[in-house]
Structure 1
């Protein structure tokens, strides 16, 4: 079996992205950061994961530029983890996963959470890629082209 390629050797943007944020814990940390969590103890309490694994994932997310560490907003001696602009660009990814899960992983009467637009109080409309003319793109209408 060939050795796994390193992140910077992957020619596919999906493969590079999954290498960086595709594990369960990293995505759930990013989800919690969007929900306002900033402190190690809050992430640990929310996710129930081992502290050494949480430390590792937080370090990787900081090293990748997805999270940044800053002094605590309340003036305490703690450090907080905040999403960087690069991390905030993951919002559509998290929303797409959430909406896919809402549609496919819950029985009609099963309780689950829904993402709400604070401005309107309405659920966020389903995400879909659009063509320049505004039509929704279906998978068969797209292709991957390699660029040099």
Structure 2
């Protein structure tokens, strides 16, 4: 079996992030954790994922400190998975993917789930990329400075 290519030493933050959460199952596990799913069986039922693949992805997410294993909230002998601070910081990534999906993957009248503010029960505003002064930027107004190409 060919060895998996890793980007853990890449100079690009996107490559390193994709190494950890770029797998579709990992992102869906994190999505489910945000939705309150905590137990192995719940993840498996919700995702329809084979046990061996789910186990592998959960192990990786725990190893990268995105999820942590905690005692079951009901005091049983089971354990649960909870988002860490690092995991909770993926919220904006999932909101961004959701908004892109809403814009490009549904017909206008096609129903889909909606992410709501818990306080107001209204949909969230669109995410925007802004410069240091708060000015909204598009993709043509930003660039990547590669390592070793100047200050």
TM-score bracket for the superposition, by shorter chain length: over 0.9
Rounded Cα–Cα distance in structure 2 between residues aligned with 1:118 and 1:26: 25
Q: Distance in 1 between matches of 2:47 and 2:105?
A: 20
Q: CA deviation at 1:5?
A: 5.0
Corresponding position of 1:113: 113
1:132 paired residue number: 132
Q: Aligned equivalents of 2:34 and 2:90: distance in 1?
A: 10
Which range moved further: 138-147 or 63-72?
138-147
Question: What displacement does 1:53 show?
Answer: 0.3
Question: Could you say which residue in structure 2 is the equivalent of 1:92?
Answer: 92
Over 4 Å off, 4+ runs: none
| Distance in 1 of aligned mates of 2:7 and 2:36 | 29
Mapped to 2, the partners of 1:22 and 1:47 lie a distance apart of: 17
Q: Is the 8 A contact 2:65 2:87 kept in 1?
A: yes
User: What runs of 5+ residues in structure 2 fail to find an aligned partner?
Assistant: none
Distance 1:99 1:137 in 2: 17
| Aligned-residue CA RMSD (Å) | 1.4
- In the TM superposition, what whole-angstrom CA distance separates every residue of 1:104-141 from its partner, at most 9, and x where no partner exists? 10001101011000111110001011112222111111
Count of equivalent residues? 146
Q: Residue 116 of structure 1 aligns to a residue in which SS?
A: coil
Q: Write the mapping of 1:20-59 to structure 2, written as runs, cut at 5 A.
A: 20-59=20-59
Aligned to 1:142: 142
Aligned to 1:103: 103
